[in-house]
Structure 1
Amino acid sequence: MSTDNREDIRDRIENKRDDLVDLVSELVNQRSVTGNEKPAQEVVSSRLEARGLEVDTWEPDADELRDHPGFFETSSYVEQGYDDRPNVAATRDGVGDGRSLTLSGHVDVVPVDEDEWSYDPWDPTVEDGRLYGRGSNDMLGGVASIIVAYEALDELDIELAGDLTIQTTVEEEDGGPGGVLSALERGYQPDAAIITEPSGLPNIGMASAGVMYFRIDVPGKSAHAARGYAGVNAIGKAAEIYRALDELDRERKSRISYEPAFRQNPRLEGHETNLNVGTIEGGDWPSTVPSGVVLEGRIGWPPGETREEVRADVEAAVREVTETDEWLSDHPPEFEWVGWNAAPHELDTDEEIVQLARENAETITGETTTFGGGSGGNDERFYNRYYDIPCPSVGPRGENIHAADEYVEIDSLVETAQTLALTAVDWCGTAE
């Protein structure tokens, strides 16, 4: 493709800046917290159908996915199932024998505590070049960039030699098997893929963390507080287990290092792995010795360990407390792994799709790419681990993901769409 045509693509997307902002805002308005993805998917479907694309919409089938090594029952599936939680995909067929590409993003977002926000999280605010709203950066901004990139190619009548699939999926924030894994098993298996997780363009994501959740039921023995000698306080026993897990977290941090995790964020150095007890529930009355406590936690880790090795670490820490405590040795806690059960992945940055994205991102932004990742779980692992399909993260810049006042930089939305469009041209080839 000529330099002039490449400039035409960039200019067309730049001219669609306001439309891009409006689309992100419309998606944020849908309040698509995990489990309620359908309204956002209807926006996507309508937009793709308006371009004359045949849109494939389907609900995941857990029974069809259950035997896959990447599947697990997410908490949202356990609570709600997959009814009315559609995935969406539409393919523009190539006109030649070029390579196929999928541009993919998730439409679910995490909940908000509105009291923490300076802005309305569901009615986006544009201020100082930023768009504030829940999901604006993670990752409705990336979804909008995909759609606008495709629309620009369509408006310029650029015919790709290879198939281009636009795909939006559910439940990534809860682990993703009902989303990207379901799409792959449905047959959407391209030669390469790009997911627009907010990598911070020109930076590109090339790794994800393993993530697992666990639950520990700690038994005690109830009694009136005035006769506490007759009971066993489950909160106290749970505290002993918490201290053991906290010590394990410090020990693991001292021996585990993964440079890509802190290349872009130096504060992550020494925190590449993390073990967090996130909830504790127990007791029912101040005057009663509690008879049970439930701890729930998460462990995350970068590439380098298997899930089996990490499970063994955590279980050993709990077992040591159990075996050395007089009460717990006779009344052992019930330990189980629940929810998130994702292995880490690492992508070779020499893969051609990664280098094409890098070249375009650097040209468009005028800055140098840093390859990072490995601090959080994401959907790219499904492509890279299980199907040998190279898939980097290429997405916009922003801050406060999963926190109050989340925002995305509007300039980076435009740059992301430009990078996606040009990378699609380079990877798929064109008619001429």
Structure 2
Amino acid sequence: MSTDHRAVLRDRIEDKRDDLVDLLTELIGQQSVTGNETPAQEVVSSRLESRGLEVDMWEPDADELRDHPGFFETASYQEQGYENRPNVAATREGVGDGRSLTLSGHVDVVPVDEDEWRYDPWDATVEDGRLYGRGSNDMLGGVAAILIAYEALDDLEVELAGDLTLQTTIEEEAGGPGGVLSALERGYQPDAAIITEPSGLPNIGMASAGVMYFRIEVPGKSAHAARGYAGVNAIGKAAEIYRALDDLDRERKSRISYEPAFRQNPELEGHETNLNVGTIDGGDWPSTVPSGALLEGRIGWPPGETREEVRADVEAAVRKATETDEWLSEHPPEFEWFGWNAAPHELDTDAEIVQIARENAETITGGETTFGGGSGGNDERFYNRYYDIPCPSVGPRGENIHAADEYVEIESLVQTAQTLALTAIDWCGTAE
């Protein structure tokens, strides 16, 4: 495609800026917290059908995925199953023998504490070039950019030589096997893929962290508080295990480093791995010595360790705390891994799809790309780790992901859509 035609395409996407904002506003309004993805998927499906595409909507089948090394039962699956939680895909077939590409994003978002927000999290607010709302940056903004990029190509009747699949998936925030993994196993296995996680264009994501959840049930012995000598306080024993895990967290931080995790955010240096006890529950009455306590936590780590190695680290710390305590050594806690069970991944940044996306992102933004990642889990791992399909993150700029007053920069949404459209042309090729 000539330079003039590329400029026309960029201008067409710029002209659709208001449409992009309106679409993102509509998606945010669906309140698509993990488990309630259907309303947002219906918006996507309707948009695709309006362009004459044949839409494939399907519910994941856990039994069909269960033997896959990337599968685990997510918390959302255990609580709600996959019924009435569809994935969506539509393919525009190429007119030649060009390479295929999938543009993918997840429609689920995390819950909100509305008391923390200055803005209505479910009714987008535009202010000073930013659009505020839950999922605006993570990652309904990227989903909207995918759709607008495609519509601009369609408006200009650009004929791609290779197949282009537009895909939106569920439950990424819970780990994603019912989403991208289900799509891959359904047959959506392109030559390359791009997921529009908010990489901070022109920056591009090239790695993800391993993430696992654990649960520790700590026994005690109940007694009246006035006769506490007759009991064993399970919360106190849980505190000893917490301290052991906290010591392990500091020790791991001192020896584990992963530069891509802090290239974009220097404050992450020294925190590339993280072990967090996120919930504690114990006791049932102020004047009763608690007979049980429950700890739940998360460990995340960058590429470089296997899940088996990390599990061994955590279990050894708990075992050591148990063996050195008289009560716990005779009444050991029950340890369980549950929920998130994702391995890390790292993508070779020399991969052609990465370099094409980089060149377009730098041209469009006027900035210089930094390759980052490895501090959080994401869906790209399914493509890169299990199917050898190169898949970077190419998405907008914003802040407050998973926090109050999440926002995305509207200009970066437009730039993301422009980058996606031009990258699709360069990767898939066009008809002569």
TM-score by length of 1: 1.00
Alignment pair present for 1:279 and 2:266: no
Alignment pair present for 1:395 and 2:395: yes
Residue in 2 aligned with 1:151? Answer: 151
CA distance in 2, matches of 1:9, 1:209: 35
Residue in 1 aligned with 2:378? Answer: 378
- How is 1:123-272 mapped onto 2 (pairs within 5 angstroms)? 123-272=123-272
Residue in 1 aligned with 2:121? Answer: 121
- How is 1:264-413 mapped onto 2 (pairs within 5 angstroms)? 264-413=264-413
Residue in 2 aligned with 1:55? Answer: 55
Deviation digits for residues 318-356 of structure 1, max 9, x if unmatched?
000111110001100000100000000000000000000
Deviation digits for residues 248-269 of structure 1, max 9, x if unmatched?
0000000000000000000000
Q: How far apart are 1:54 and its partner, in Å?
A: 0.1
Q: What are the ranges of 5 or more consecutive residues in structure 1 without an aligned counterpart?
A: none
Q: How far apart are 1:11 and its partner, in Å?
A: 0.3
Deviation digits for residues 53-89 of structure 1, max 9, x if unmatched?
0000000000000000000000000000001100000
CA distance in 2, matches of 1:358, 1:190: 20
**Letter of the structure 2 residue corresponding to residue 381 of structure 1:** R
Residue in 2 aligned with 1:103? Answer: 103
Q: Report the 3-state secondary structure (helix = DSSP H, G, I; strand = E; otherwise coil) of the residue aligned with 1:35.
A: coil
CA distance in 2, matches of 1:415, 1:258: 29
Q: How far apart are 1:427 and its partner, in Å?
A: 0.1
Q: How far apart are 1:199 and its partner, in Å?
A: 0.0
**Letter of the structure 1 residue corresponding to residue 391 of structure 2:** C
**Cα RMSD after superposing both structures:** 0.3
Q: How far apart are 1:371 and its partner, in Å?
A: 0.2
CA distance in 2, matches of 1:84, 1:201: 34
CA distance in 2, matches of 1:101, 1:116: 40
CA distance in 2, matches of 1:2, 1:258: 40
CA distance in 1, matches of 2:321, 2:353: 49
CA distance in 1, matches of 2:264, 2:393: 14
Deviation digits for residues 264-316 of structure 1, max 9, x if unmatched?
00000000000000000110000000000000000000000000000000000
CA distance in 2, matches of 1:123, 1:24: 10
Would you identify which runs of 4 or more consecutive aligned residues in structure 1 move more than 3 Å?
none
CA distance in 2, matches of 1:381, 1:370: 19
**Letter of the structure 2 residue corresponding to residue 158 of structure 1:** V
- How is 1:29-44 mapped onto 2 (pairs within 5 angstroms)? 29-44=29-44
Alignment pair present for 1:112 and 2:112: yes
Q: How far apart are 1:359 and its partner, in Å?
A: 0.1
CA distance in 2, matches of 1:389, 1:431: 24
Q: How far apart are 1:401 and its partner, in Å?
A: 0.1
Identity percentage of aligned residues? 89
CA distance in 2, matches of 1:320, 1:200: 42
**Letter of the structure 2 residue corresponding to residue 320 of structure 1:** K
CA distance in 2, matches of 1:12, 1:219: 64
CA distance in 2, matches of 1:114, 1:95: 48
Deviation digits for residues 63-122 of structure 1, max 9, x if unmatched?
000000000000000000001100000000000000000000000000000000000000
Question: How many pairs were matched up?
Answer: 432
Q: How far apart are 1:159 and its partner, in Å?
A: 0.2
CA distance in 2, matches of 1:329, 1:247: 20
CA distance in 1, matches of 2:141, 2:40: 12
**Letter of the structure 2 residue corresponding to residue 55 of structure 1:** V
Q: How far apart are 1:202 and its partner, in Å?
A: 0.1
Alignment pair present for 1:13 and 2:13: yes
CA distance in 1, matches of 2:8, 2:213: 48
Q: Report the 3-state secondary structure (helix = DSSP H, G, I; strand = E; otherwise coil) of the residue aligned with 1:137.
A: coil
Q: Report the 3-state secondary structure (helix = DSSP H, G, I; strand = E; otherwise coil) of the residue aligned with 1:138.
A: coil
**Letter of the structure 2 residue corresponding to residue 13 of structure 1:** I
Q: Report the 3-state secondary structure (helix = DSSP H, G, I; strand = E; otherwise coil) of the residue aligned with 1:297.
A: strand
CA distance in 2, matches of 1:87, 1:259: 34
